[in-house]
């Protein structure tokens, strides 16, 4: 998937209710109660969730229903969370996966 830097691929039809703020790679992002982390990721200027382990290509949420696993990211320190199934909550910290995951020893 190609991304054009700085161009939003998705945006809400209305201004998001600024009730919830999450952090994506250390950058605050507005979110609304009831939406998923993947939905917030797709509204960002860089709407990807992970880099592939082999080619380091960017992948973004795709199916939005827990089937494709393209939306995996780290959420509050937990790796490989399907962000399309994870509702946002205030103060949530999201980190995009960058390449191969390490196994805990």
Handedness of CA 49, 52, 55, 56 (dihedral sign): positive
Per CB under 6 A, contacts with ligand FES among 14-33 are none
- Map residues 34-73 to x or -, x wherever contact with ligand FES holds by CB under 6 A: ----x----------------------xxxx-xxxxxx--
d(CA 96, CA 58): 10
Q: What count of other Cβ atoms lies within 10 Å of the Cβ of residue 76?
A: 14
Which residues, 6+ apart, have CB-to-CB distance to 55 below 8 Å? none
Q: Does 75 bind ligand FES (CB under 6 A)?
A: no
The least distance separating ligand FES from the CB of residue 72, rounded to whole angstroms, comes to 8
The residues that touch ligand FES, with contacts defined as CB under 6 A, are 38, 61-64, 66-71, 82, 84
């Amino acid at each position: 998937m190609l991304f054009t830097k700085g161009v939003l691929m998705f945006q809400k039809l209305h201004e998001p209710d600024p009730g919830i703020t999450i952090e994506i790679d250390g950058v605050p992002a507005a979110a609304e109660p009831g939406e998923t982390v993947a939905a917030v990721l797709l509204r960002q200027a860089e709407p990807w969730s992970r880099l592939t382990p082999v080619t380091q290509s960017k992948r973004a949420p795709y199916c939005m229903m827990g089937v494709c696993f393209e939306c995996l990211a780290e959420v509050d320190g937990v790796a490989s969370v399907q962000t399309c199934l994870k509702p946002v909550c205030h103060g949530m910290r999201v980190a995009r996966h960058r390449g191969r995951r390490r196994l805990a020893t």
